Amino acid sequence: MIRSTVKELFAGGKLNEAVLLKGWVRTRRGNKKVAFIAINDGTTIHNMQVVADAEKFPEALLKQVTTGCSLSVKGRLVESLGKGQQVEIHAESIELLGACDPEVYPLQKKGHSFEFLREIAHLRFRTNTFGAVFRIRHALSFAIHKYFNDKGFYYLHTPIITASDAEGAGAMFRVTTLDLVDPPRDDQGKIDFGQDFFGRSTNLTVSGQLEGELGALALSSIYTFGPTFRAENSNTPRHVAEFWMIEPEMAFYDIDDNMDLAEDFLKYLVRYALDHCKDDLDFLNNMIDKELLERLQFILENDFVRISYTEAIELLEKSGKQFEFPVGWGADLQAEHERYLVEQEFKKPVILTGYPSEIKSFYMKQNEDGKTVRAMDVLFPKIGEIIGGSQREENHEKLLKRMREMEIPEEELWWYLDTRKFGTVEHSGFGLGFERLLMFVTGMSNIRDVIPFPRTPKSAEF
Ligand code: 4AD
Ligand code: MG
């Protein structure tokens, strides 16, 4: 007999047919005569109710049917008289696949805090909330590939180990096979990375952008979707040290084309979730965040506001608000400023452009004013920055000058500079933080709860 999933049975199970179901017990209730066993197999948020007549099964078996155990059930699919479900299974045979001792199983019926569940991240998939979150994570990964494939973008795999620091931020994890106790040293006593595995010093990538640009400057439009790593010591609900980033890069796109794409892409993903993850979103809306669905709908219905950094600073100064971090032209915006603009000033997503060159990366296209660059950050309610991107400086001389000013080692990026020498063209791109997107779509307020195994300062369990 072929196993059916809970999802299949709810979607198209035929009444009175014999079925085989396997899964984990969520709850068991009942009386001396009959047991009601709720089984979940992760294919949907819904449980299948299995009804077992006590007289048909050995008492010893039913005793072992406790929360968390795994069962294989054969029975008949029948219309349910109980509230909340259309069908249920009347059990004819029950096999205990794996017992689960209720004395030690940490996931009991009562609700657990997300902090506690993070400590048992190996088991939290079995809760309704994390089942929903990780099904949505899957659906949106798929939607991202679909969106770009349908638009003619090519998926480019950029390296995970790299010798360059794309953002010039200096917060990187080193990759080495050198003996850390007694590393080889050069004449000056410095560690000799010439003897390291790659014959040079290497790190985990902070962004695939620079290599992505190389691809776009031949294939027209590419995107990356892979893990990125940042060794910043930021213990916030919006930062992890290992996160997944989607980075499209497009030749012949200016900053306006780039903003149009970012807005269309985000709306597509929100719509995709609403269309394909309804049960999970309904659950999260009921249990986690009562305004979730409203907020998602709101993204679809509104044009994003597009203003310059300079205008944003003026608005923040005029707001009369006491911010923790001072506001002033030239200072980077903090989450509190971003959220003020989105949640209070405009009540819409905001795209900020024209940031001071001093607070942005070397590769951004310089504006004529000599002070600002064609950067763009997309700011979302509850999240703040969800996307960071820019038009890229395609002029070789200007780029080289800026790299020298910012002490970016040009000899290491000779290949990047080459593209500006050989048939350079206008181009743009951006990076969407996948976990930030998931926070927005699921309503989860801590980034650690939208990635299966979060990596944060002092924490790399599992
Ligand atoms: O703004 P960022 O640093 O931009 C780049 O890396 C560019 N190279 C992207 C590009 O133009 N191709 O990062 C992009 C996005 C942020 O807007 C944020 O959503 C996310 O990546 N992000 C993080 N997400 C989780 N944890 C962190 N530590 C993050 N740092 C950035
Ligand atoms: Mg950024």
* 31 and 131 fall within a common domain: no
Please report whether residue 181 resides in a domain. no
Domain co-membership, 97 together with 134: no
Mutate to test the pocket of ligand 1, among 144, 243, 334 (most ligand atoms within 8 A of CB): 243
What's the Cα-to-Cα distance from 41 to each of 24, 118, 367, rounded to whole Å?
6, 21, 55
Segment 54-62 mean pLDDT:
96
What atom of ligand 1 comes closest to residue 240's alpha carbon?
Answer: 26
What is the rounded distance in angstroms from the CA atom of residue 243 to the CA atom of residue 447?
Answer: 10
Q: Is the C-beta atom of 211 inside 6 A of ligand 1?
A: no
**Dihedral sign from CA coordinates of 382, 296, 442, 288:** positive
> Which CATH number covers residue 80?
2.40.50.140
Query: CATH number, domain at 156?
Result: 3.30.930.10
pLDDT of residue 110: 77
Looking at the predicted structure, is the pLDDT value of residue 166 above 70? no
Residue nearest to atom 4 of ligand 1 (CA): 388
438 in the same domain as 305: yes
Tens digit of each residue's pLDDT (9 = 90 or more) over 300-314: 999 999 999 999 999
Residues 270 and 339 in one domain: yes
Going by C-alpha positions, the residue among 379, 405, 360, 423 that lies closest to residue 166 is 360
- Whether residues 311 and 365 share a domain: the answer is yes
Percentage of the chain beyond pLDDT 70 is: 98
Bridge partners, 221 (sequence order): 250
Is the CB of 213 within 6 Å of ligand 1?
Answer: no
Question: What is the domain extent for residue 55?
Answer: 3-105
Q: Indicate whether residue 243 lines ligand 1 (CB < 6 A).
A: yes
d(CA 136, CA 239): 20
Nearest CA to ligand 1 atom 3: 388
Q: Which of 214, 245, 253, 436 to mutate to test the pocket of ligand 1 (most atoms within 8 A of CB)?
A: 245
CA–CA dist 343, 379 (Å, integer): 10
Is the same domain home to 411 and 279? yes
- Strand spans (E) along 232-382: 242-251, 305-308, 350-356, 372-380
Contact 316, 323 (CB under 8 A): yes
> 378 with 270, same domain?
yes
Q: Is 183 among the domain residues?
A: no
Of the residues 76, 105, 134, which one is the last residue of a structural domain?
105
> Does ligand 1 lie within 6 Å of residue 263's CB atom?
no
User: What is the rounded average pLDDT of the residues 77-85?
Assistant: 84
Task: Assess if residue 186 is contained within a domain.
Answer: no
- As given in the structure block, the two tokens for residue 114 are 């997300």
CA 386–ligand 2 middle distance (angstroms): 8
- The verdict on residue 291 lying in a domain is yes
Ligand that lies nearest to the alpha carbon of residue 385, given by its number in the listed order: 1
Res. 332: pLDDT tops 70: yes
Tell me if 212 is assigned to some domain: yes
**Where is the domain boundary, 55, 75, 105?**
105
Whether 187 is in a domain gets the answer no
Residues with CB under 5 A from ligand 2 (ion): 388
Start-to-end CA distance of the chain, whole Å, equals 36
pLDDT at residue 183 tops 90: yes
Question: Are residues 335 and 269 part of one domain?
Answer: yes
Minimum mean pLDDT among 79-83, 242-246, 300-304, 386-390: which range?
A: 79-83
Tell me how far apart the alpha carbons of residues 68 and 191 are, in angstroms, rounded to a whole number.
Answer: 52
The answer to whether 43 and 23 are in contact (CB under 8 A) is no
Domain identity same for 244 and 376: yes
Q: Based on the domain organization, do 417 and 343 belong to the same domain?
A: yes
Q: Do 49 and 166 fall within a single domain? A: no
- Taking only the tens place, the pLDDT of each residue in 272-292 is 999 999 999 999 999 999 999
pLDDT in tens, 186-210: 999 999 999 999 999 999 999 999 9
Ligand 1 neighbour 376 (Cβ under 6 A): no
Q: Does the residue 197 lie in any domain?
A: no
Do 388 and 282 fall into the same domain?
A: yes
Residue 117 belongs to a domain:
no
Phi, psi (rounded to 5 degrees) for 96 = -85, 115
Q: Which of 442, 41, 114 is nearest to 281 (CA)?
A: 442
Establish whether residue 239 lines the binding site of ligand 1, counting it when its CB lies within 6 angstroms of any ligand atom: yes
Looking at the CA of residue 210, tell me the nearest atom of ligand 1: 8
Q: Is the CB of 389 under 6 A from ligand 1?
A: yes
Q: Give residue 227 CA to ligand 1 midpoint distance, Å.
A: 11
Q: Give the count of domains, the chain.
A: 2
Distance of CA 63 from the midpoint of ligand 2 (Å): 55
